[in-house]
Structure formats: C-alpha cells, structure tokens
Chains A and B, each alone.
Chain A
Amino acid sequence: MGIINFAPKILDPIPGGKYVVNAVDYVVNWARANSIWPLTYGTSCCAIEMMSSSMARYDIARFGSEVFRASPRQADLFILAGTITKRMAPAIQMLWEQMPGPKYVLAMGACTISGGPFIYDNYSVVRGAQNILPVDVFVPGCPPRPEALFHGLLTLREKILKETCRNPWQEGYPEDVSRVDRYREAAKAWAELEKIKDEEMAEAREKFKAENPDYKSTFKPVRVTKEAFPEVERPAAAELTAGELSQADIFGKIKAKFESATVDEAILATASSDSPAEITLDVKDYFAATEFVKNDPALKMDYLIDVTAIDYPDHFELITQLRSIELGHKVFFCVPLPKDESIPEEKRATSLLAKVPSITALYPAASIKEREVYDMFGIKFEGHDDLRRIFLDKDFVGFPLRKDFTNPEMIKRPV
C-alpha cells in the first residue's frame, strides 16, 4: 500500500486528521472494490461458467471485473475455476506468488471447497483450495451458475470495503483441510437445523391449537394420476450392410491364421457389428495378429479406437479395439497377460508386472494409449520408444487402476 499505510500515523494526531484519513480510505476502497481484475485461469467445468459470466448475457462488466488478465502480474483476483489436482497445485501456488498484493482468491465450485465429486477413492485431487492457498470467498455449486459467481464477487467487494489503512490487507496462510469430511459435517449441521426447526414448528402447532381449538383443516391430499409406462423391447441390432463381414467371418479369418485365437461361441452368435465379440489371443500372437488384420485386404483394420486393460486377481487383460473406417467392422482383441510371480510381495505394488509387445509401429495412435496403460496398470510395452508416465508425476508411487492399489491420501467411500 505504500505511503497510505503511514497516513494514519502522520495525520491522526492533527485535529481533524482522522476525517481526512477516513475520506481517503473511502475513495481508495471504492476504486479498488469496483475494479477487481481477475486472472484468466480455468481447469475444468467451472471455467466455462466463468466464461459465460463474462459474456453478453450475464456481463461481468457490471461489477467492474471484465478485464480478465492472462498475466498474474496484472491481476487482483484469482478465481479458482475447476478441480485442483496435486500435479497442478504447485503451478497454482506459483501463479499466486506472482500476483501483486493486495490479492484475493475466490474458490469457485464444489471441487475447490472440499474436492466435490472427487472426494472419495481419489488419489490425485486436492481436497479443497484452502490446502494450498488462503481463500477469501467460497462459491458453492457444481458448477455454480454465473449469478452465484456474481454473489461471490459482491461478497468479496464487501470484504474489500472493510479494509482500511488502519486495518490493511494481509496475506493469509493456507490451512490443511484435506481430511475434513465436509459432507458429514454438513449433514450434521443440517440435522441440527432441522431439529431446531421441528421444535419450533411443534411449538407453533401447540400454540395454534391452544388459540383455535375448533379449527379443522380443509386440506385434502391430491393424488396425481400415476403414469403407466410400457415395457419396451430393445431394438434388434442393425443388419449388416453389403460388403460388411459378420463377426463369425472375422473370427474365422483370424482363427485360420492364429491357432491361439478363441472366442465365446454364445457371444459370437449374437454379436452385432455394433458391439463385437472379443477374440482372446495369446501374447505371442498379439503383434502378428494385429499386423494381419491391419494389412489383410478383406479386413483393413486401419483405425485404432483404443488400447486399455483390465486388472484381474491373477492376470491383466489388454484390450485392443480396432475398426475399419472403410469397411465398417470392428474387432476387439483380448490378450491375457499373466502377472510376473518372481517379484517379491513387498515390491509388487511398485514394479511392472507384465509385458507385451507395443503396436506403435502399426498404429502411431497407440503411443499415447499405451503410455496411459503403462501409467495406470504398470504393464511394460516392449518396443515403445517413449514409455513414460502420462497423467501422473514420474515419482508417483504405484499404479492406480490396479485393484490392490493403496494410497495414504485416499479416503474410502462410506457405504
């Protein structure tokens, strides 16, 4: 604040000086409270509502905050729009440090209050912005409507108006609230409110009865006619168009080439082109079979939908989903990968338990998908030239989508 902080010391002893200080305070605060410049920052859904609020319909300019600054050095207000993850938290703190004071934080949405929908069984979300920054205003909602954001802005305005040069802005401190279960707290507070309300209502009822002993209610419950709904059959799967192969044909072609290919016959009979039968393959045939379906002129599986995996107690299962853009059929390969038993029990959680050849040479799109499977399951892809973690930090311990994954930060969902 500079010189204005010393104004009271100099002016207060002078007769009438207090009024001068108060008047200056009033003008300065009026200017500050009506021109809060927010930082352009948003991670997820709340950012879109923040954008909506600055557009023509809601027009945040009415509150003097339309100047969204991309540089933290020009911003007064940090609207935390969206979920904060542990990976993003250091970046957010850095942005906060770069902002010049006096600066304020408005936490927008449920995620920044408590973790919101991501509070339970989660290993990556920061439960509440308070853990990393001192927050001035919380705006609840998932996401909050623009009106709610404006209410938050006006609340912040009130807070700024209370700051005088005798009581200037001070930087707050973050506090650890990550283990606070706000849902249960809120439920408890709500139950207490309900109890008070019930007591008051009971009292009022007694009083009313005592005052009007002959009163009889004319209220009759209206029974809404119950709508009846029919049972609807699932429509039959779309018929194969000309030139399209049935799932049995595709399986026959692959079986002729690769002995290890098996399929559930019951599923094969009913499989439509929409949800194809899953062909189980041996690991040693996986790369060759993928190459075969890609290059075979009758199959032409040129498009990789996805590579993912499932963790079963004794093995992983790699799912590779392929389709043909031109011919329109799909094939799903399931590759069971036995878990490496030679790794000692205490090291299993942090080591790669299975390996499989990479198909990046055939499908460049598989590169990022395989990195995701590596990151989440700890499956090694042999021949992948850039196998790094993709979503988690490189020093993250464990592989989250394994069923036996544990993390000290996780809170179990109450049943």
Chain B
Amino acid sequence: MSMTQLPPGFKIIRDENSEAYSDEFFVNMGPQHPSTHGALRLAIRMDGETIVELVPHHGYIHRGMEKQAESMSYLQYIPMSDRQDYLTAIQNNLGVVLAYEKGMNVGVPLRQEYIRVMLQELGRIASHLVFFGCFGGDLGGQTCLLFGFKEREMIHDILEEVTGSRLTMNFFRPGGSRFDVPDTFIPRVKAFLEHLETTMKDYERFLSKNVIVRERSIGIGVLSKEDAIAYACSGPVARASGVNFDVRRNNPYSIYSQLEFDVPVTYNGDCYDRYNVRIAEIHESMRILRQCIDKFPAEGPWRSKEKPVKLNPGRYYSEIETAKGLYATYVVAAAGDKPYRIHTRGPSFPHIGVLNKMCQGLTVSDLVTIMATLDPVIPEIDR
C-alpha cells in the first residue's frame, strides 16, 4: 500500500514488508456511535488491536451558525450560542454578551455580577456532573449515568426557575439579564450545596477508588504539557497536563477577581487526572457559590438603565472559562444592527485535534476512555 492509497488524512507510512503490516485494517467509528458524544466520525487505522493512527471527520452537525449570524440582529445570536455547547449553555451566553458589552460600552450592576457568577458556577457543576456520568457510563458503569443526572436535575430545577428554560437558557443580555432572580434563588442554591456536599463524597468513593476505573484510566491517554500548549488545549484537559491556566484567574472577567478559589492542576496528564481535575473543580465551584451566597446583595438594581441593541463599529473579543475550557467570541461590528462577522472559538475543537496524538499505540477501549475524559461536545466544534 503506497501513500497515495491511504484514505485522506492518514500520514504515517509503514514498512510494507514488516510482519505487523499484514494485520493492518481500518475501522470506522461513528457518526452514530454512543461513545463519540454526538455526530463525530473517527476513522481508525488499526494494527491488530492497536491503534496506529486516527483521523477525525467533522461536519456531521455543521449548522452554519456563523453564516446565519450575519443576517441576524446581535441579540438574535445569543440563543444560537446556547445551541453550540448545550451542556454549558448559560456560560456561552455570557461569553457572547461580554463581547457585546465591550462594543456597547455598558456595565452591569453588582447584583447582576453575582447572578452571573452564580449561574456560571452552577452551569459548571452541571456540566461536570454530566462528565461524571458519561465517564462512568463509557467505562461500562451505567449507574454513574443515573447518579450524575440525578444531581444535575436539581441544578436544572434552579436554572429553570431563574431563566424559564431547562437546557437552552438564552438568559443574559448586554447590561443585565432577561429577569431578576426570584427570592427563592439563594435558599435553593444553599440547600442544593448542602445536598451536593454529602453526595459528592459518595460519588467519589464510588468511582475514584474503583479498581476498574483506576486500571482503565491511570496512565492511559497521556498528554504532555508541551503538547497541551502546542495543540491549544484548555480547561480541565490542559490543567490535568500541568498547564496552570484558567481564564477566571489569568484574565478575570465579571467579579472573579474578588472571589477566592483555587485552580486545580495535576501533572500526569492521563485520563484519571482529567477526571480528578473535574471533580476538584466541582468543589471549587461550590466554594465560589458559598462565597457568593454570603456576599449576594439582597437589594439593588439587577440591570443597567440602557438596553442597547447595536454595537459601535469595531472589533471586540471576549473570552471566558466554560466547563470545557477557553470559549472566545470575536465580533466584527459594522454600522447597522447586524454583525459583520461573529466567530466562536470553542474549547472542544482543539481537543479533538490532539486525539490522534493521545491514542496512538492504545486500543479502541482506551479510545473510548480518552473520548470520555476529553468531554467534547460536537455541535460546538462544528457550529
């Protein structure tokens, strides 16, 4: 087999006369596969049980959001951001709105800042709980899926009460949000935190020390620090490889600079570390939420006076840390009420780019573990 005969994307040329070569074959995983977390297709080149090379094929859920955005008004684009990464919908909203606020030159009152941070952290916990469930589920323990979603429903109850929607919130607006939070918001968050505190202990005991989980994740899918930076990984994936980078601390937006929290970093870069970082982040989010509950202004305005709909001509960039990593929005505003161009940098896209590097020499069952710990959301890659 010469180089020209390899399917597109495959690069490694192997010695045709070697013995291992005869066992080589291609496996197609996806676009409909429970472990690819959505419509992603992985073309895998295998040598017996071992993965030689892997090529991801994107675009099975490419919905042309950026093209559509050019014919929408600025505010109409906010619900589009919900549908990119639907597990962190509330965080994506904020990412878009922060870019708009720069272009509109409006600020938000203190109460709104606390609302924003609290909803961010609730969204982060919800996303990590889905990760917890899917990680267990992909390793064969369906019980985790039930556990993760059980606590997530409680968060979504709170979010539903605040925003009126379960999954695609469409909540934040330049200068504030759609509504104020109800009076029950703080007591409910408090009650939820008390509940989560005890359940997280159970969950960690359940999965972190499980022999099968440890066997299947320790030392699997190692991503070095150099690779994590070179391939532009962010969020828990990069932090598990020792990249001490978190937008909330390095480039604080909203009121994160006034809050006290740690950025969990581990240094092995394997699947187990990525799991541990996310579990530690749930605890940090709970810590942030507790601080916010103490400081939450009971009175005061929840939005600014202006309700602007147009951006001043120019280019605006904002970045936030979603549960998956660095989510950046780049808005090119021209005269008029429609954006000239909006571009989104999602965190999952580079993670799939480095997948080939991580799973070489491993087996397909390891690939499933790695995919679970990368926690990608495909619609946010394809947009």
A residues with CB within 8 A of B: 40-45, 47-49, 51-52, 55-57, 70, 82-83, 85, 87-88, 91-92, 95, 117-118, 120-125, 142-143, 145, 227-235, 238, 267, 273-276, 278, 302-306, 308, 310-311, 319, 321, 325, 328, 332, 363-365, 367-369, 376, 385-386, 388-393, 400-401, 403, 405, 412-413
Contacts and interface: CB of A to CB of B under 8 A. Distances in A.
Contact of A91 (B60, B232, B318): B60
A122 B64 contact: yes
Given A121-B67, A368-B353, A386-B11, A57 B150 contact: yes
Contact of A232 (B107, B341, B350): B107
Contacts of A229: 109, 176, 301, 303-305
A275 B328 CA distance: 11
B58 A401 contact: no
A87 B243 contact: no
Contact of B31 (A47, A51, A91, A120): A91
Contact of A45 (B39, B59, B83, B303): B83
A122 B68 contact: yes
A25 B124 CA distance: 51
A37 B92 CA distance: 34
Interface stretch (B189-197, B249-257, B287-295): B249-257
25 contacts: A40-B34, A43-B39, A43-B378, A44-B61, A45-B83, A48-B86, A48-B130, A48-B167, A52-B152, A57-B149, A70-B34, A91-B31, A92-B32, A95-B32, A117-B79, A124-B62, A232-B175, A234-B107, A304-B232, A305-B345, A332-B317, A368-B353, A388-B9, A391-B59, A405-B67
Contact of A310 (B145, B250, B341, B353): B341
Interface of B: 8-9, 11, 31-34, 38-39, 58-68, 70-72, 79-80, 82-83, 86-87, 101-102, 105-109, 130, 145-146, 149-150, 152-153, 166-168, 175-176, 229-232, 243, 245, 250-253, 257, 301, 303-306, 314-319, 326, 328, 330, 332, 340-341, 343, 345, 349-350, 352-353, 378-379, 382
A142 B326 contact: no
A88 B168 contact: no
Given A310-B340, A365-B230, A388-B8, A49 B166 contact: yes
Contacts of B250: 328
Contact of A365 (B38, B82, B146, B350): B350
Please give me the 8 A-B residue pairs with the lowest Cβ-Cβ distance, nearest first.
A365-B232, A391-B59, A55-B149, A232-B304, A391-B62, A232-B107, A45-B86, A234-B107
A49 B318 CA distance: 29
A388 B57 CA distance: 11
A238 B257 contact: yes
A88 B38 contact: no
Given A321-B330, A386-B9, A413-B71, 16 more contacts: A43-B378, A45-B168, A49-B167, A56-B146, A57-B153, A87-B62, A122-B64, A123-B67, A143-B86, A229-B305, A230-B304, A274-B251, A308-B330, A308-B345, A363-B230, A391-B59
Contacts of B379: 43-45, 82-83
Contacts of B72: 413
A310 B62 CA distance: 19
A65 B317 CA distance: 46
A231 B63 contact: no
B253 to A, nearest CB: 8
A203 to B, nearest CB: 35
A45 B68 contact: no
B243 A325 contact: yes
Nearest to B59: A391
Contacts of B66: 376, 401
A369 B349 CA distance: 9
Given A51-B149, A273-B251, A85 B62 contact: yes
Nearest to B180: A227
Contacts of A49: 166-167
B230 A121 contact: no
A83 B64 CA distance: 12
B232 A303 contact: yes
A275 B332 CA distance: 13
A124 B257 contact: no
Given A117-B83, A229-B303, A364-B230, A122 B67 contact: yes
Contacts of B145: 51, 55
Nearest to A119: B68
B226 to A, nearest CB: 9
Given A117-B80, A118-B68, A125-B64, A232 B305 contact: yes
A143 B319 CA distance: 27
Contacts of A365: 230-232, 350, 353
B150 A56 contact: yes
Contacts of B245: 325
Contacts of A304: 232
A278 B315 contact: yes
Contacts of A332: 317
A125 B70 CA distance: 17
A400 B67 contact: yes
Contacts of A41: 32
Given A230-B301, A234-B106, A328 B251 contact: yes
A87 B232 contact: no
The residue among A85, A227, A275, A386 with the most chain B CB atoms within 10 A of its own CB is A275
Contacts of B319: 305
Nearest to B301: A229
Nearest to B332: A310
Contacts of A230: 109, 301, 304-305
A368 B32 CA distance: 22
A71 to B, nearest CB: 10
B31 A88 contact: yes
B149 A308 contact: no
B171 to A, nearest CB: 15
A70 B32 CA distance: 9
The residue among B31, B150, B343 with the most chain A CB atoms within 10 A of its own CB is B343
Contacts of B176: 229
A47 B39 CA distance: 11
B291 to A, nearest CB: 19
B60 A44 contact: no
Nearest to A363: B230
Contacts of B304: 229-232
A248 B315 CA distance: 18
A83 B86 CA distance: 13
B64 A118 contact: yes
B275 to A, nearest CB: 20
A269 to B, nearest CB: 14
Contact of B64 (A123, A228, A311, A412): A123
A229 B345 CA distance: 34
Contacts of B60: 43, 85, 87-88, 91
A91 B305 CA distance: 50
Contacts of B105: 234
Nearest to B245: A325
